[in-house]
Copies of this chain bind each other. A is one copy, B any other.
Amino acid sequence: MIEIVRLLANHSQFGITLMTADRKAGQSIGSVFPHLVSQDLPDMVAVKDADFSSVDAVFCCLPHGTTQEIIKGLPKGIKIVDLSADFRLRNIDEYEEWYGQPHSAPDLQKEAVYGLTEILRDEIRNARLVANPGCYPSSIQLPLVPLIKANLIELKNIIIDAKSGVSGAGRGAKEANLYTEIAEGIHSYGITKHRHSRSLYFKLYNLKPSSFSAPEIEQGLSDASDSKVTVSFTPHLMPMSRGMQSTIYVEMTPGVTIEDMYQQLKNSYEDEEFVILLEKGAVPHTRNVRGSNYCLMNVFPDRIPGRAIIISVIDNLVKGASGQALQNLNLMLGIPENTGLLYQPLFP
């Protein structure tokens, strides 16, 4: 996740001493990522040649499946933030069901803490291994968890229409992510009912296996509610590189008002640096978080009485991935949580 290198370039406490990349071993950062040509960084090395002796912490950005094994092999004293999906699901049976292979590090899984910073800050602070959340689950749980905990919304029929930029798909060359296939058009992807259709997904949409957001979202919402939650979740691919919006349609618990929801979110987040409840009526735009670690959210009345619409936007590569990862590592290493994260959004 090259985005972490960008963020760390101005971090006052952390420096990069080791970068691994098997296919790019021996290359400089500037040759692989020319936008970082000004950075004086060590060349890439293969994982097997990596010397972790002077490393205090690791961001692990490997593809799903390899990560469990790799992390088992790391020295025990190293703090780890894993950006893959390998440790996000607590239930290893559920992991196997969705990802089609048994979990290969169940002991580590027990230790892993889910890294949704604002919700699980204390657990993260004391963790050695943090499973960094997916981008969709981050944008969705941040508004929903406090509302569910406060019993303000019904658990049934939570309908999430999510929209994402293309960058989440990584730099792999796939027909589906070509400029000509993405520009000036939109579509839904990953529409389905059952996890068992997942292999079809892989073939049809060339998704990385790490893209299973539904079980991760439902794990978080179920935790918040102490009951099993099933959500409707439909992601859409947008003609933009960065940015993610979740438009969430919910039914309010009888007697609850929009004002109640607004106040709850205000109470939950008014002391947070990176989660910002906008002024009443103001609509979050993805372009207003581009390149930054902010999550903007708001809640609106629906035309149908008793219903509400929640909108939450993040930069999928920052608060939805590398930014939150750095936020977590800051916490784990006891330095101010916002260190290196105060980049303002790049607009236009």
A-side residues, CB < 8 A to B, are: 2, 5-6, 9-10, 33-39, 156-157, 159, 161, 163, 165-167, 171-175, 177-189, 191-194, 214, 230-234, 236, 238-243, 245, 247, 249, 251, 273, 276, 278, 282-291, 294, 296, 300-305, 307, 309, 311, 313, 342-348
Contacts and interface: CB of A to CB of B under 8 A. Distances in A.
Is chain A's binding surface mostly helix, strand, loop or mixed? Answer: loop
B276 A249 contact: no
A181 B174 CA distance: 13
B243 A186 contact: yes
> Assembly of this chain: how many copies?
4
A344 B38 contact: yes
A180 B344 contact: no
Contacts of A346: 6, 290-291, 346
Contact of A284 (B6, B187, B284, B305): B187
Contact of A192 (B161, B171, B290, B300): B300
Contacts of A174: 173
Nearest to A2: B347
A249 B232 CA distance: 9
A157 B309 contact: no
A304 B218 CA distance: 12
8 contacts: A6-B344, A35-B347, A38-B276, A173-B173, A185-B285, A187-B245, A187-B283, A230-B304
Contacts of A287: 35, 181, 184-185, 187
Contacts of A33: 347
A231 B163 contact: no
A184 B182 contact: no
Contacts of A342: 9-10
A230 to B, nearest CB: 5
B232 A302 contact: yes
